[in-house]
A and B are shown apart, each in its own frame.
Chain A
Amino acid sequence: DTGVSQDPRHKITKRGQNVTFRCDPISEHNRLYWYRQTLGQGPEFLTYFQNEAQLEKSRLLSDRFSAERPKGSFSTLEIQRTEQGDSAMYLCASSLEAGGQSNEQFFGPGTRLTVL
């Protein structure tokens, strides 16, 4: 399967714990995005990378959230001191930016986080 993969698919944690999610983009894609989707809503942009550089962060991304893409391939999203309001589906997407042409984003299946 050459699509975007995310791990784990489901995560249940207790309030106050830290969690980390992983995203593996399509191999030749240089851009990687994180979105958050709550029940009955559309995905909301959190942050994105071009290669290893984090180019933009949403105001939704509090100090408890941090994302990395250390070698320009896979990315991790960490949430520290989780709160019940962090319960959501966390979606990763990737795209290829080449020669000034911006191409479509391909989404992974998401990681569903439940904070008890």
Chain B
Amino acid sequence: QQQVKQSPQSLIVQKGGIPIINCAYENTAFDYFPWYQQFPGKGPALLIAIRPDVSEKKEGRFTISFNKSAKQFSLHIMDSQPGDSATYFCAASMGGGGNKLTFGTGTQLKVEL
């Protein structure tokens, strides 16, 4: 049972563009929604996370938008750069970041010059 569905599977944007990655979850008990960035040969690294009591959170060029009623959340990357080319995973957990994470299937992003 896939509890977190992520789309698209891959994405190509031009430098400066705003890629948007979407996730949908099923379990209403989830209360922590992080996004992770993973480069080839490396472990995932936390980018930004949100809890369901807010609808938007910004950290630098990364923004999470959260829609609790629709059980959806998305990652926007402003002014994307070639160095942002990586695989991005959404995830969800119950009880905060220190509990088991359920990950989406990942989005491979390529930012072209």
Chain A positions near chain B (C-beta within 8 angstroms): 4, 31, 33, 35, 40-45, 48, 56, 58, 91, 93, 95-97, 101-110
* B34 A104 Cβ-Cβ under 8 A: yes
* B43 A45 Cβ-Cβ under 8 A: no
Report the separation of the CA atoms of residues A37 and B49 in the bound assembly, to the nearest whole angstrom. Answer: 21
Known: A4-B43, A42-B91. A105 touches B105 (CB 8 A): no
Number of inter-chain CB pairs below 8 Å: 64
Set of chain B residues within 8 Å of A103, measured between Cβ atoms: 96-98
A-B contact pairs, 24 of them (CB 8 A): A33-B100, A40-B105, A41-B106, A42-B91, A42-B106, A43-B101, A44-B103, A45-B101, A58-B100, A91-B43, A95-B97, A95-B98, A97-B98, A101-B96, A102-B32, A102-B95, A102-B98, A103-B98, A104-B49, A105-B46, A105-B98, A107-B45, A109-B41, A110-B42
Report the separation of the CA atoms of residues A93 and B100 in the bound assembly, to the nearest whole angstrom. Answer: 10
Known: A43-B103, A102-B32, A102-B95. 19 other contacts (CB 8 A): A31-B98, A35-B101, A42-B103, A42-B104, A42-B105, A43-B101, A44-B103, A45-B100, A102-B96, A103-B96, A103-B98, A104-B34, A104-B97, A107-B36, A107-B44, A107-B45, A108-B43, A109-B41, A110-B43
- In the complex, whether B81 has a CB less than 8 A from a CB of chain A is no
Set of chain A residues within 8 Å of B89, measured between Cβ atoms: 42-43
* B106 A40 Cβ-Cβ under 8 A: yes
- In the complex, whether B99 has a CB less than 8 A from a CB of chain A is yes
Set of chain B residues within 8 Å of A35, measured between Cβ atoms: 101
Instruction: Give the number of residues in B that approach A within 8 Å (Cβ atoms).
Output: 26
**Chain B 14-52 per-residue mask, 1 if CB under 8 angstroms from chain A, else 0:** 000000000000000000101010000111111001000
Report the separation of the CA atoms of residues A43 and B96 in the bound assembly, to the nearest whole angstrom. Answer: 18
